[in-house]
Amino acid sequence: MMEKKIRVGVIGGGFGAKVHVPTFQAHQGFEVVSLASVGRGRTEELKKETGVESVYGDWQEMLDNEQLDLVAVASAPLLHHEMVLKAYEKGLHVLCEKPFAKDTAQAVEMLAARDRAEKLGFINFEFRFLPARQKVKEIVASGKLGKLMHVNYKTSFPGYERSVTSKRGWLGKKDQSGGMLGAIGSHMFDSLLWWVDDQIKEISGQLTTHVSEFFDESGVKEVRTADDAFQTFGTFAGGTTFTVGLTSTTRHSQGWELEIYGTEGSLVMTEDNKVLVGIGNGPLEEVELLADLVVPEGMSDVAGRYYNAFYRAVDGLYGALAEDKEHPYLATFEAGYQVQRILDAVRESHEKQTVVYLDK
């Protein structure tokens, strides 16, 4: 039994209710005392679905009324800035979903608010805690691969059928911080920066909307303005080059693929669950990974899909908040800021059709 219980309030009736709430509930060190829906209503339904007794239709009312230690912000990205600033005004610690903010200027203000409040701030780059990604970090940091020359990181999702048969909502709206660059690219760039442990010097990007509209059964059209695919390439300060790309509206998919090439060896990771390493002229050989966590009985499929990474992140979060232990893989607001700079640079590159150079 954990000596101290951290009291959590979750903002978000979608991902927050479906993933954050059950994962925090599965950890003995946390107590989910309240949940706030954002524009969805459904308070009674959410009580039944989550088992959380105190459910609000107004997130500000929750922050005003509840005695909390931590707020998990799992709303649409456009709302992160206001919610994070309000949480710090209340003297609370914050876990914020990605993408961190609308833009770098907001990210800077969120960092400043954290510092003024003298509280902790974390961003939910939970996939750092997948055993395969941890093994990549371990191998690269060991120097076994030598000087890194190039990283190729890409994925595709077989999402075409869904994109032409259902609405995307805010995720399809550029002016609401939608798009795959923020939703998935933020995770990819965080892992890239974390693995290489260097700053990106220059980047070029292309954003594409392959499925730009959708008609529902009544003939009402939804116009998509946000990207459903992106392709980027660039160079780190130390000379390592990279490509990062995603397509989310394909009929078929090859899944996740990572290739890292160094002067002394190579590494390949596939599907976030298999890592192969070759040193010198030797063959690529599979390396052993930590075992996956067992999903608790009765947990929903959607929460279960994130459990292996997110529960480990939540456990690291407990150590930071209750035991003052800094976990090396736990992403802080600084990581969110660095990734936001990259996302902004990719958008600028696409709009201006030019290479964007980033200052440190």
Q: What is the pLDDT of residue 146?
A: 99
For residue 3, name the pLDDT band (cuts at 50, 70, 90): confident
Beta strands in 3-108 (DSSP E): 6-11, 30-36, 54-56, 70-73, 93-96
Whether the per-residue pLDDT at 2 is higher than 70: the answer is no
pTM across the whole model: 0.96
Instruction: Give the chain's mean pLDDT.
Output: 97
Q: What is the Cα–Cα distance from 52 to 31, expressed in whole angstroms? A: 10
Q: For the range 107-111, what are the long-range contacts, defined as Cβ-Cβ under 8 Å and sequence gap of 24 or more?
A: 107/333, 107/336, 107/337, 107/340, 107/341, 108/337, 109/81, 109/85, 110/80, 110/81, 110/84, 110/85, 110/333, 110/336, 111/333, 111/334, 111/337
Per residue in 106-128, pLDDT (tens digit) is 999 999 999 999 999 999 999 99
Whether the per-residue pLDDT at 1 is higher than 60: the answer is no
Per residue in 281-314, pLDDT (tens digit) is 999 999 999 999 999 999 999 999 999 999 999 9
Q: Which of 300, 351, 318 is nearest to 30 (CA)?
A: 318
Q: What is the Cα–Cα distance from 240 to 262, expressed in whole angstroms? A: 9
Residues, the chain: 360
As a whole number, mean pLDDT of residues 139-159 equals 98
Whether the per-residue pLDDT at 38 is higher than 70: the answer is yes
Domains of the chain plus CATH, in order, are 6-119 (3.40.50.720), 128-290+338-357 (3.30.360.10)
Q: What is the Cα–Cα distance from 13 to 41, expressed in whole angstroms? A: 8
Q: What is the Cα–Cα distance from 281 to 149, expressed in whole angstroms? A: 16
Bond into 77 cis (ω within 30): no
Percent of all residues in the chain with a pLDDT value above 70, rounded to a whole number: 99
Q: What is the pLDDT of residue 195?
A: 99
Lowest mean pLDDT among 30-44, 66-80, 222-236, 318-332: 30-44
Whether the per-residue pLDDT at 191 is higher than 70: the answer is yes
Number of neighbours of residue 282 by Cβ within 10 angstroms: 10
Whether the per-residue pLDDT at 39 is higher than 90: the answer is no
Q: What is the pLDDT of residue 359?
A: 82
As a whole number, mean pLDDT of residues 3-22 equals 96
Q: What is the Cα–Cα distance from 182 to 106, expressed in whole angstroms? A: 15
Per residue in 309-347, pLDDT (tens digit) is 999 999 999 999 999 999 999 999 999 999 999 999 999
As a whole number, mean pLDDT of residues 51-78 equals 97
As a whole number, mean pLDDT of residues 126-141 equals 99
Whether the per-residue pLDDT at 147 is higher than 60: the answer is yes
Whether the per-residue pLDDT at 40 is higher than 80: the answer is no
Number of neighbours of residue 349 by Cβ within 10 angstroms: 20
Per residue in 240-267, pLDDT (tens digit) is 999 999 999 999 998 999 999 999 999 9
Token pair, residue 100, equals 């961190």
